Structure 1
Amino acid sequence: MKRALLIAEKPSLMRDIQKVYKKTTLPYEIDFSSFVGHVVELKEPHEYKPEWKKWNLDVLPMIPERYEFRVKKSAYKVYKDIEQTLKSNHYDFIINACDAGMEGENIFYSFYKRVGCKLPVKRFWTSQTTDTAIQKALQQLIDENDAMIRNLRNAAMYRSVFDWLIGLNLTRVATVKGGRIIKVGRVMTPTLAIVVKRELEIRNFKPEPYFQIEIDLDSFKAMWFDPKTNDNKIKNKELAEAIKSQLMGIARVVDVKTERKSMYAPSLHSLLELQKEANKFFGLTSAQTLKIAQGLYEKKLITYPRTESKHLPAAFAKTIEDNIRTLANLNEYQEVVKNILSNKKQIEYVRHSKRYVDDKKLTDHHAITVTDVAIGKKKLTADELKIYHLIARRLLSIFLPPYLIDKTAVVLQSGEHFFKANGISIIDKGYTVLYESFNKKNERPLPMLQINMELPIRQAEVLSKMTEPPQRYTDSTLLDAMFHAGRFVEDKELQRILKDAEGIGTSATRAEIIEKLISIGMIGRQGKSFIATQFGIDVIESLGNHDVVSPVLTAIWSKKLKDIVDGHLSSRQFYGEMLQFVQETTARLKSIEMEVAEKQTVVVGKCIKCGSSVEEGFKGYACSNKACKFFISKTLMKAKITSTDAKKLLTGKETREIRFTWKSGKKGKAKLKLNGEKLEFVFSQSKEQK
């Protein structure tokens, strides 16, 4: 019997597959192993050529003759263990069980090349981690030469290479010209430009006064407007007071229009839509939502989260009742699920609705939805429950009636002046019954009104207001701006390209890009909003109209990568165009003058080892004395060590209670303190955790 080595992307997935394998009859035997995400990475420049170690403009652009990988220090043991397994056993083929997408292909094949493996590869491919889905994927392995898999693999590799070439070459040019570390990237820099543009709009905004006139008609209020321009703002108070004085004491109805509107449930979640909704309702950052969703996926409760699609495939929709039935175990959905499952006609309608089910609108994966695995006794955190319920509600909502309202607009006249009021009457709450706890809209109906009806004006008031600057971006609105990056360019053809490419970045990478901009000090968080730092503003203003600032750059190349995946562009042609672009872009950046303010040093305390100042850096808090190696990392066991924590440690105090993730995967809280140069945990009630 043939023998294979299956390599999963994470240990949790490996264990899930292993469990199903034991209950499944296959014509081959499988041994199991696992990565921990990326175990190799592209080499640094100096590992190709010694002269690339010095940051010198004369050697740029750096373009290796062939691209090579090195083992990541953090994954060295994992790499060596799998390498030894391959050497000490005879296998007929390898099973690639990394996540089913471009990044999963990159994780596997970068290892495959680095380790020098020549064995044939079969692809384990599934968007769910339920037992049924895993069993099906094991029984229907895809050959590595399948066109879809081959194209996806090529696109993944060239995306990685392109980011290396753009990031390292342009970062070095900008750093040399600017006199301090200035990171540049094809997605990161245009994202920074979006935030900077908004920041400058706010800084340069000059508020102007305006006035409005509101009349109280007892059961509702109406606002003055100019029927010629439809504007309700009055530039000066004198004119507003004059209009108020000319009112007749009554307002006559001159027009009433009522329109019935049906609003169907929105499409199912892509990762982008889930991140936006989680930020809107719960204030979760995009990175937090992605991490939570990944955890729910690994617990088999939701389908693969890193998806751009908002639609289900027809084959999946055929058994959608199984997914709906899972939610009957939750008290809040029992009645809804019962009603849905009894309405076979509505289920069939959804199955054939292009609004929700469309094979042509699928990407690597379909929309996120709950699986047929019930929560049962699984222990979920409060945030995991929030995300699970968002996904559950969205699935159930597509099987419920539309939200039905009558929207009424009335125009009234008093003397020569006109007023407008709007009201909404809810005819059927439809799917919104699932969202009543989130609905904060004050939707009020207007009374029954007829033309020529006269209403007494109880009170007329001049409202004094000021124009307001645009709002800063939140996680939700910045993600949306990245997706709809075509709004920031004027050329219609470029707008189309950006729309086809679905903006800049991907659902799986946008959160990471935002967090990276924060970590390098180019943007910051202010409550739920993002602000651009002076450093970030200086970088964008210095780069001016360079290609790397525009969202068009990443959109064009993302479109080319998609063409590789779809089989419309050869990898060889892509690489040739890429090299020419890198050479031309690097040359243009060399001609730019970078004017960036010097980095401001943030001192958090005195070094306990040598007495010098300890300064905050990108990765931690380091002694300013280069000969002294004292350092406190900003991250420890997946927890963040803040500057306030560092200050307390340096003065001999204990930190706040911090939530850590132990090696076993368990989470627990503890304080930190310094014992000499070593960090120690301080547990409440003398409890120890390992």
Structure 2
Amino acid sequence: MNVLNVAEKPMVARTVATILSRNQNMRMREGRSRYNKIFEFNYTIRGQPCHMIFTSVTGHLMELEFDDRYRKWHSCDPADLFRAPVHKFVPEDKKDIKRTLEEEARRCQWLILWLDCDVEGENIAYEVIDVCTAVNPHLTIKRAWFSTLIDRDIHNAAQNDLRDPDKRVADAVDVRQEIDLRIGASFTRFQTMLMKDAFIIDTATDDRNRVLSYGPCQFPTLGFVVERFWEIQAHEPEEFWSIICSHESKEGTAEFSWMRGRLFDYTCAVIIYEMCVEEPTATVTNIRQQEKPKYPPFPLNTIELQKRASRYFRMSSDHTMKVAEELYQAGFISYPRTETDSFSPGTDLHTIVQEQQGHPEWGIYAQRLMDPEAGLWRNPRGGGHDDKAHPPIYPTKFSTGESGWSQDHRKLYELVVRHFLACVSKPALGAETTVEINIAGELFSACGRVILEKNYLDVYRYESWGGSMIPTYTNGQQFNPTKLTLESGVTRPPPLLSEADLLSYMDREEAKIGTDATMQDHIKKMLDRSYATKDSSTRFTPTNLGEALVLGYDDIDMTYKLWKPDLRSEMEKKMDDVKKGDKSKAEVLVTILQKMEACFLEVSMACLCYMAEF
């Protein structure tokens, strides 16, 4: 039996073919595309001898586009793009890949799809299916399900986890592609031509910065950045006053915090302060001592990987995913696009730890984890998210660093390993003492902490838990504070959004923007379009152009604020309905596009009325 196997990328095809053939008697030959080689070898699937033919695509095989008569900017009213015919086609640079698939599919009985096991991979699977079944409608079609490019996982996929492709998931991606094309093209053409007419922008040039692009995910992403910027601009500093109290003894110094925190009324603050000065004796009213744990992080999913790489290494989310993808393709980490932050009960966590015992930096810690007498092991907590497709991100191969790795490869691999080791460790344990005192009826408190057991903090060097000793006190003890002053301060605005902050905003349940695999793309587009800048601390500032665009839409009195996440979040929920099979592709397309067309007409009418006044 001849079996055509198709991977999503050339390197994955080579890796999987090498694993399945055990690197024995595998023959490589050229395909129609010089980049997409063909590998042949014999293999047995569930007792059935197979001649395996293994090749690849390079991401999406097809593109979605308007029919020719609608593709030029001035060919139609932008509003017509909500209803204009669209079609999927294989672009010229992918035609050779298509020819290879057609030629190989003609002589095969089975088609096994080794595409990435996510929603985009499912959509690409159906692009490959369409090409192959057009020349051979009798193919038996299966989808290999895997999360790592290691021998055990790949052989298990071939023998035990060949599934039927899921058309519902592919349809959900089709919905996203079509609404993004129609909404993006109509709004981009409208606002660019409007600005061109008003400010003499030349759209005939090839300078992409002159195109004022609109994306239904990109624009709400910019909205988060602008909204925080406006919060900062609108902030008016307000003066406040606090009573500062400290006490020095032979054992050290205790800094007591005023329980009121701060007062914005100067007169009230002065009256209370003078009462304390007149009766400065402090009486200890309560002492609380308790052991307090600091828990290790949940297992690592995509968004958390991006956020932590941004915080710890100042690495952009886009670059993080590029490096993570390379580590995955080389077999060093599991699939990096996952929403799951809980390990299933059947995961062999101990084997993953054992593989790290020889590492010069964290190997001794891994050995302690495996030692029952050390008592360091604790089964990982679950974060409550499971995409039903992939496990959390974890190391799949031991390495002390490869010759071809950059510093970012080393940092990201180390983060994945240390994060995994921390997940299966006991929490850190501290002894906290809280002392409350009374001065003239005003309450103050001081807190001290002693670290009893560092546990996971020994390996997870990205986090700390400071300890601070305070003197020993007894209930009823009295003393005079060493320092008792009234000090003023001013309120400060919130900081600009960092990349980690922005990812958190985009990932909120009530304001979901994009998917875990695409959020970094929306941030990159916002920067590429010069709608915002990012400083060395990974904080975003909107450009004048970016702020002006959001302000322009904000000034329009309409049903939905297009720069807010609400409408896109609503769309994401409807696309999930398609994925679950609760609604059809056609039904959701009609609902979303009708709503967006109404928004477009509101915007265009408002803008045309505004322009007519000048």
* The two structures share one fold, judged by TM-score above 0.5: yes
Q: Deviations over 1:592-642 (max 9, x none)?
A: 328999xxxxxxxxxxxxxxxxxxxxxxxxxxxxxxxxxxxxxxxxxxxxx
In structure 2, relative to structure 1, the CA distance for the partners of 1:296 and 1:233 (3 Å cut) is farther
Aligned to 1:20: 19
CA contact (8 A) 2:145 2:157 kept: yes
Aligned to 1:252: 283
Structure 1 residues 579 and 473, CA gap change in structure 2 (3 angstroms):
closer
Paired amino acid for 1:308: E
State whether structure 2 residue 421 is matched by structure 1 residue 402.
no
Correspondence 1:200 to 2:230: yes
Map 1:406-425 to 2 at 5 A: 406-425=431-450
Q: Give the C-alpha shift of residue 12 in structure 1.
A: 1.1
**Structure 2: how far apart are the matches of 1:301 and 1:570?**
39
**Contact 2:292/2:429 (8 A) holds in 1:** yes
Question: Secondary structure of the residue that 1:586 maps to in structure 2?
Answer: helix
**Structure 2 residue corresponding to 1:268, chosen from 283, 287, 299:** 299
- In structure 2, the CA distance between the partners of 1:400 and 1:250, relative to structure 1 (3 Å rule), is same
What residue in structure 1 maps to residue 564 of structure 2?
550
Matched, 1:506 2:515: yes
Do residues 524 (structure 1) and 524 (structure 2) align?
A: no
Aligned to 2:495: 471
SS at match of 1:18: helix
Deviations 1:270-319 (A, max 9, x none): 1111111111112111112111111111111111001111112233x1x2
Query: In terms of mean alpha carbon deviation, does 426-435 or 122-131 score higher?
Result: 426-435
Q: Residue 458 of structure 2 aligns with which residue?
A: 433
Is the alpha carbon distance of 1:81 and 1:395 closer, same or farther for their aligned partners in structure 2, counting shifts above 3 Å? closer
2:524 to 515, 527, 549: 515
Distance in 2 (alpha carbons) for counterparts of 1:108 and 1:530: 37
User: Alpha carbons of 1:376 and 1:211: their partners in 2 closer, same or farther (altered >3 Å)?
Assistant: closer
Task: Supply the distance in 1 between the matched residues of 2:315 and 2:80 (Cα, whole angstroms).
Answer: 41
Checking the alignment, whether the CA contact within 8 Å between 1:311 and 1:362 is kept in structure 2 is no
Spell out, residue by residue over 1:117-152, the C-alpha distance to the aligned partner (whole angstroms, 9 max, x if none).
Answer: 5543321221111011112222246354x5xx2222
Give how far 1:82 is off. Answer: 4.3
Partner Cα separation in structure 2 for residue 382 and residue 520 of structure 1: 28
Distance 1:326 1:562 in 2: 38
Distance apart, 1:58 and its partner CA: 6.3
The one of 568, 575, 580 equivalent to 2:589 is 575
Structure 2 match to 1:168:
185
> For the structure 1 residues 183 and 594, does the alpha-carbon distance in structure 2 shift closer, same or farther, using more than 3 Å as the test?
farther
- What is the match of residue 328 of structure 2? 297
Equivalent-residue separation in structure 2 for 1:406 and 1:357 (angstroms): 26
Q: C-alpha distance in 1, partners of 2:373/2:219?
A: 50
Identity of aligned residues (%): 22
Asked if 1:7 is matched to 2:6, the reply is yes
Cα separation, partners in 2 of 1:241 and 1:178, compared to 1, 3 Å: farther
Task: After TM superposition, give the deviation of residue 416 of structure 1 in Å.
Answer: 4.1
Contact 1:234/1:240 (<8 A) preserved: no
Q: Residues of 2 paired with 1:156 and 1:519: CA distance?
A: 24
| 1:86 and 2:108 correspond | no
1:585 to 596, 599, 612: 599
Residue 182 and residue 113 in structure 1: after superposition, are their counterparts in 2 closer, same or farther (change >3 A)? farther
The 8 Å contact of residues 125 and 142 in structure 1, kept in 2 or not, is answered as yes
Question: In structure 1, what is the equivalent of residue 469 of structure 2?
Answer: 445
Q: How does 1:134-173 map to 2 (within 5 A)?
A: 134-140=154-160, 142-144=162-164, 146=165, 149-173=166-190
Determine if the alignment matches structure 1 residue 220 to structure 2 residue 249.
no
**TM alignment of 1:120-135, pairs within 5 A:** 120=139, 121-135=141-155
Q: Equivalent of 2:398, from 374, 377, 395?
A: 374
1:612-623 alignment runs, 5 A limit: none
Give the secondary-structure state (helix, strand or coil) at the position aligned to 1:445: coil
Contact 1:173 1:589 in 2 (8 A): no
Q: Report the secondary structure of 1:61's partner residue.
A: helix
How many angstroms apart in 1 are the aligned matches of 2:235 and 2:454?
41
Distance 1:224 1:90, change over 3 A: closer
Counterpart position of 1:538: 548
Q: Structure 2: how far apart are the matches of 1:401 and 1:342?
A: 13
Contact 1:167 1:186 in 2 (8 A): yes
CA positional deviation for 1:199: 0.5
Judging changes above 3 Å, is the alpha-carbon distance between structure 1 residues 150 and 344 closer, same or farther for their aligned structure 2 residues?
Answer: farther
Matched residue type, 1:197: E
Q: Which structure is richer in relative contact order (CA contacts within 8 A, separation 6 or more)? A: 2
- How much is the aligned-residue C-alpha RMSD, in angstroms? 3.0
Change (3 A) 1:51 1:324: closer
Alignment counterpart, residue 356 of structure 1, candidates 372, 382, 386: 382
Amino acid at match of 1:423: G
AA of the residue aligned to 1:554: R
In structure 2, the partner of 1:185 is 215
Q: Which residue of 2 aligns with 1:489?
A: none
Q: Could you tell me which residue of structure 2 aligns to residue 629 of structure 1?
A: none
Change (3 A) 1:347 1:467: closer
Instruction: Please state if 1:561 is matched with 2:561.
Output: no
Deviation at 1:441, TM superposition (A): 4.8
Q: 1:463 to 1:56 in 2, by over 3 A?
A: farther
State the AA in 1 paired with 2:382.
Y
d(CA) in 2 for partners of 1:86, 1:418: 80
2:130 is the alignment partner of 1:100: no
Residue identity opposite 1:425 in structure 2: V
Task: Please list the CA deviations of residues 189-212 of structure 1 after superposition, one character each: whole Å capped at 9, or x if unmatched.
Answer: 111111100011112222222232
Contact 1:6 1:94 (8 Å CA) reproduced: yes
C-alpha contact (below 8 Å) 1:201/1:469 kept by paired residues: yes
Residue 36 (structure 1) shift: 2.4
Distance 1:461 1:55 in 2: 73
C-alpha change, 1:342 and 1:323, in structure 2 (3 Å) is same
Distance (whole Å) between structure 2 residues aligned to residue 450 and residue 409 of structure 1? 12
Give yes or no for contact 2:307–2:500 (8 Å, CA) kept in 1: yes
What CA distance in whole angstroms lies between the structure 2 residues aligned with 1:339 and 1:534?
A: 55
Gaps of 5+ in 1: 487-494, 598-690
Distance 1:82 1:572, change over 3 A: closer
CA distance in 1, matches of 2:419, 2:265: 45
Residues 648-683 of structure 1, C-alpha deviations (whole Å, 9 max, x = no match): xxxxxxxxxxxxxxxxxxxxxxxxxxxxxxxxxxxx
Q: Structure 2 matches for 1:262-341, cutoff 5 A?
A: 262-315=293-346, 317=347, 319-341=348-370
Aligned pair 1:459/2:483, yes or no? yes
Aligned residues: 561
TM-superposed CA distance for 1:399, in Å, is 2.5
- The amino acid that maps onto 1:447 is P
C-alpha contact (below 8 Å) 1:178/1:594 kept by paired residues: no
TM-score (norm 1): 0.75
Distance 2:495 2:189 in 1: 34
Counterpart contact for 2:113–2:142, Cα < 8 Å: yes
Hey, what's the Cα distance between the residues in 1 that align with 2:148 and 2:71? 48
Deviation readout 1:389-419 (Å, 9 max, x if unpaired): 2221222223222222233332222334332
Partner amino acid for 2:119?
M
Does the aligned pair in 2 maintain the 1:518–1:524 contact within 8 Å? yes
Which is worse superposed, 52-61 or 391-400?
Answer: 52-61
Secondary structure, in 3 states, of the residue corresponding to 1:410? strand
The residue identity in structure 2 corresponding to 1:91 is C
